Amino acid sequence: MWFKPGLAQRIVIAFVVMTTLVAGAFALGIVGTVYMIEERLISQTLGGDLDRLLRMDSMENWRHRPERDQLFYISRGPGDFAMPADLQDLSQGFHEVFRPPKAYHAVIREVAGRRYALLQDQSDFEEREHVLFGVVLVGFLISVAMASGLGVFMARRVMAPLINLAAKVRRREQQLSEAPALAPQFPSDEVGQLAAAFDDTLGQLRQALTRERLFTSDVSHELRTPLMVIATSCELLQANPALGAREQGHLGKIARSCEEMRDLAQTFLLLARAEHQQVAHAAQQSLREVADELAGQWRGEIESKGLRFDYAPSETSAGLYHGPFLRTVLSNLLRNALHYTQSGHVALTLSAEGFVVEDSGIGIPAEFQDAVFQAFQRGAQAGGEGKGVGLSLVQRICHLQGWQVLLTEAQPHGCRFYVRLLPA
């Protein structure tokens, strides 16, 4: 997996890389300078000594001898001055010759067909050179280590305002409406500009949330009066004995729709308050109580469409739940099953952990199962009267209450919604 360093790590890496390059350049420069000086100075010294030897070699009385730490050789020379095998193939100029445990600098010269070699013991120089190179290496490593420590220190100093800003932003998420401005708490630098940008964005978000909250509250409140008028009118019309069965059936649908709209408006209001942590105490109901109520409400409509309604209130938990939210979730799932099922059955099964709503409708392909929980999203084969809002509302409520909703395919076709409940 590709390594993605954070900002603090990038600062440390930048310090280490920069120091490595600079210290490495200095170290290589020192090593190169030592080698250059070594070759130039020693070659000049040995060359001068060899020149003096060669001048003395042409005199009848040769009194000049090599220094105590020098060795002199001549091709086809007598005795100890004979050219050894390890020098015969060397070209003219300066060389380093190693004869363990000693090391020598050598100058090779060829005059009038004869080769001359002068060697000088450099063992002490090599030891000092190794010590120098060791010091350079240790200095390089210390520089890199110090750069790492300095990078960590500077990264913490640089990141401290950002970490402070992030902490304040996280606290503002919990106290969105009461959070003070961030910009005055930071200097007018880049971090201060970022804090000011957060203030501007948060101000716009606060205004949008306020507008949404007011809209939800106003709509939920203002819908109550016309819904009450519709419900009262339906009751008066249903009491009229002159109306036939067909008219009574339509009035019943209007009354049920009115009741659903009233419950839905109340749910939206409670949901808006709950999402802003302003929810009041809601009525607590058991799953069996809500399920019995909705099963009686939806059975007639489901069976009037020619479908079979299977209600299995077997074992249920004794827990109590948020009544309006539970009623909205279960009602939306039953409505969804009714709208998208043309033949077969709709089933509601209760269990100790929650409930299952299953149908034999057209089903939802696997590639659309995640999308159907988004607002205004419907499957490619969707039909019926839905607008793609019900399942989004179900998921919002389940997320708010800590419940879990899962969608799987029913066999041989259809949908199966499982809702796992947690007591309030």
- CATH code, domain carrying 371: 3.30.565.10
Q: Which residues of the chain have pLDDT under 70?
A: 1-3, 53, 55-68, 77-80, 172-179, 212-224, 269, 271-282, 375-389, 424
Co-location of 140 and 262 in the same domain: no
Could you tell me the two tokens for 353? 């952990």
88, part of any domain:
yes
Regarding whether 191 and 129 lie in a shared domain, the answer is no
* 196: CB partners within 8 A, 6+ apart: 182, 183
Q: Do 255 and 304 belong together in one domain?
A: no
Q: What is the DSSP letter of 82?
A: B
Q: Tell me how long the chain is.
A: 424
Q: What is the pTM of this model?
A: 0.49
pLDDT score for 350: 92
Q: 298 and 319: one domain?
A: yes
Residues 230 and 286 in one domain: no
| Domain extent at residue 138 | 7-146
Asked, for residue 387, whether it belongs to a domain, the answer is: yes
Name the DSSP class of 89: T
Token pair for 215:
């809209």
Q: Are residues 296 and 404 in the same domain?
A: yes
In sequence order, the β-bridge partners of residue 407 are 417
**What are the distances in angstroms from CA 42 to CA 36, 69, 121, 126, 310?**
10, 13, 11, 13, 105
Strands 415-420 and 114-121: unpaired
228 within domain boundaries: yes
Instruction: Tell me which residue of 289, 224, 303, 222 sits closest to 258, measured CA to CA.
Output: 224
The domain total for the chain is 3
pLDDT on residue 422 = 78
Of 146, 166, 191, the position where a domain reaches its end is 146
How far apart, in whole angstroms, are the C-alpha atoms of residue 32 and residue 262?
89
260-272 core/surface letters (b: 16 or more CB in 10 A; e: else): bbbebbbbbbbbb
309 and 244 inside one domain: no
Tens digits of residue pLDDT in 268-283: 767 666 655 544 456 7
Answer yes or no: do 207 and 318 share one domain.
no
Q: Which residues contact 379 (CB under 8 A, 6 or more apart)?
A: 364, 365, 368, 371, 372
The full 3-state SS of 145-206, as one line of letters, equals HHHHHHHHHHHHHHHHHHHHHHHHHHHHHHCCCCCCCCHHHCCCCHHHHHHHHHHHHHHHHH
Last residue of a domain, one of 279, 308, 340: 279
pLDDT at site 63: 46
Please indicate, yes or no, whether residues 242 and 268 belong to a single structural domain of this protein.
yes
Residue 356 has a pLDDT of 93
Same domain, 140 and 261: no
Comparing CA positions, the residue from 233, 229, 265 lying closest to residue 250 is 233
- If asked whether residues 68 and 130 sit together in one domain, one would say yes
pLDDT digits (tens, 9 = 90+) for 7-40: 778 888 888 888 888 988 988 888 888 778 777 7
Asked whether residue 318 is assigned to any structural domain, the reply reads yes
Among 279, 299, 327, where does a domain finish?
A: 279
Query: What percent of the residues of the chain are helix, what percent strand, and what percent coil, each to the nearest 5?
Result: 60, 15, 25
In CATH, what number is assigned to the domain containing residue 189? 1.10.287.130
Q: How far apart are CA 52 and CA 71, in angstroms?
A: 14
DSSP for 55-77? HHHTSSS------TTEEEEETT-
Same domain, 100 and 203: no
In this prediction, residue 222 carries a pLDDT of: 67
**What is d(CA 321, CA 269) in angstroms, rounded to the nearest whole number?**
18
Is 166 part of a structural domain of the chain? no
Q: Is residue 158 part of a domain?
A: no
